[in-house]
Amino acid sequence: MTPAPSGEHLGGSATVTRYRESLQQRGHLCELFGGGSEGGLKQSLEGTIGRFAPDIVHAHDARRCGVQLLGCRTPWVVSLSGEDLHEDAQREDLGPLVCEVLRRAHRVLAPSQAAARLVEERVPDAVGKVDVVARAATKLPTDGTDLRRSLGISPKRFVALLPGGLRPVKGQHVAVEAARLLAEAGADLELILAGPELDAGYTQRVRELADDVPGVRVLPTLARERMGAAYADADVVLNTSTSEGASACVLEAGALGRAVVASDVAGNRELIRHKETGLLFCGAEELAKQLLALRRNRSAAGVLGVRIREDFARRFGLDAEVGALLSSYAAA
């Protein structure tokens, strides 16, 4: 089960699609329910389960999908999003529902050891049934439309790409503020924000900030087939989130050997080793300093890209992901 519509949950949709493809390659039959590429909800969840008669049901996202399984008699598991862990579980209105999902699921799939510990702290009834299923870092094809060429950006210009839906948790305003600080210091930078508009008020705020800073562009969602080429065109890929589980964008960028600069939050610390495989920052001023350093020394950005690619290949392989997934299913 994947949150719908897929255009608003790009990371979750990519993860679920990868799970399905990996399982099918190993001979398992899978039915995708939710906002998949084949479009929309074809029928009710109950009808889908009744028709498909699965051995197990997997909900990706406790609040958006797991709640629907609270009465399900088929064994079911739930994998957690960053919002489940760091936002929804702490809200007065949604927290009890999310915690009930974690209590009643047969297994809970966390993206990291830190996330697993957090689940067990908040929901003691989940102790002993939390499995770590680290997300795989897979290479996207890079033969899509050239981002620099389509936007008229010189190959010599330093480009920072920040993918993700426009909403407060993604923190795009921090990147715009860093770009403003760089512009005031006379540093030439192209900042590209690309993603769906998920919060109207926040989107308006980001656009108003961007209008006052030269070199900042706010683009709509890039098609999946264009993302690999977009990463490849960027000198650095940013993550400015206030909370993360395991960022799909960081994993995708790292797999392609792009330098990554990310906010210093728990989920990002699980992926990036500061000053070894990437850079972590706190606040717009520190982000601006790091971008300025990489702009002045592009070879350093290249070194970070090589290191993160090699590190992700060791730690976040596709075989390890599907193996951990099947082990969790078997335990459920």
Sign of CA dihedral 311, 252, 239, 80: negative
Backbone angles phi, psi at 310, to 5 degrees: -65, -40
pLDDT at 8: 66
pLDDT at 76: 97
Binned at pLDDT 50, 70 and 90, residue 106 comes out as very high
- Percent of the chain residues past pLDDT 90, beyond the cut: 74
Identify the structural domains of the chain with CATH numbers, from first to last: 6-136+317-331 (3.40.50.2000), 147-315 (3.40.50.2000)
Spatial contact of 234 and 193, defined as CB atoms under 8 Å apart:
no
From the list 233, 253, 237, 230, the residue with the least C-alpha distance to 309 is 253
Binned at pLDDT 50, 70 and 90, residue 6 comes out as low
Angle (CA) 120-56-32 rounded to 5° is 105
**What is the SS3 assignment for 131?**
strand
Q: How far apart are CA 313 and CA 332, in angstroms?
A: 29
Q: What is the 3-state secondary structure (H, E, C) of 215-272?
A: CEEEECCCCHHHHHHHHHHCCEEEECCCCCCCCHHHHHHHHCCCEEEEECCHHHHHHC
pLDDT at 13: 83
Tokens found for residue 262: 């990310």
Average pLDDT taken over every residue of the chain: 91
Tell me the mean pLDDT in the region 232-236: 96
Backbone angles phi, psi at 240, to 5 degrees: -115, 25
pLDDT at 39: 42
Binned at pLDDT 50, 70 and 90, residue 145 comes out as confident
Over 80: is that where the pLDDT of 10 sits? Answer: no
| Residue 213, amino acid | V
Spatial contact of 197 and 166, defined as CB atoms under 8 Å apart:
yes
Spatial contact of 137 and 312, defined as CB atoms under 8 Å apart:
yes
Angle (CA) 131-135-141 rounded to 5° is 160
Q: Which of 72-86, 179-193, 224-238 has the lowest mean pLDDT?
A: 72-86
Over 80: is that where the pLDDT of 272 sits? Answer: yes
Tell me the mean pLDDT in the region 205-226: 93
Over 90: is that where the pLDDT of 35 sits? Answer: no
The region, left, alpha or beta by phi > 0 then psi within -120 to 50, assigned to residue 301 is alpha
Tokens found for residue 38: 């084949």
**What is the SS3 assignment for 108?**
strand
Over 60: is that where the pLDDT of 235 sits? Answer: yes
Q: How many CB atoms lie within 10 A of CB 95?
A: 15
User: Among the ranges 138-147, 239-248, 305-314, which has the highest mean pLDDT value?
Assistant: 305-314
Global pTM value: 0.88
Length of the chain as a residue count:
332
Tokens found for residue 84: 């489940």
Over 50: is that where the pLDDT of 11 sits? Answer: yes
Q: How many Å from the N-terminal Cα to the C-terminal Cα in the chain?
A: 16
Over 80: is that where the pLDDT of 305 sits? Answer: yes
pLDDT at 37: 46
Over 50: is that where the pLDDT of 40 sits? Answer: no
Tell me the mean pLDDT in the region 226-241: 95
Binned at pLDDT 50, 70 and 90, residue 90 comes out as confident
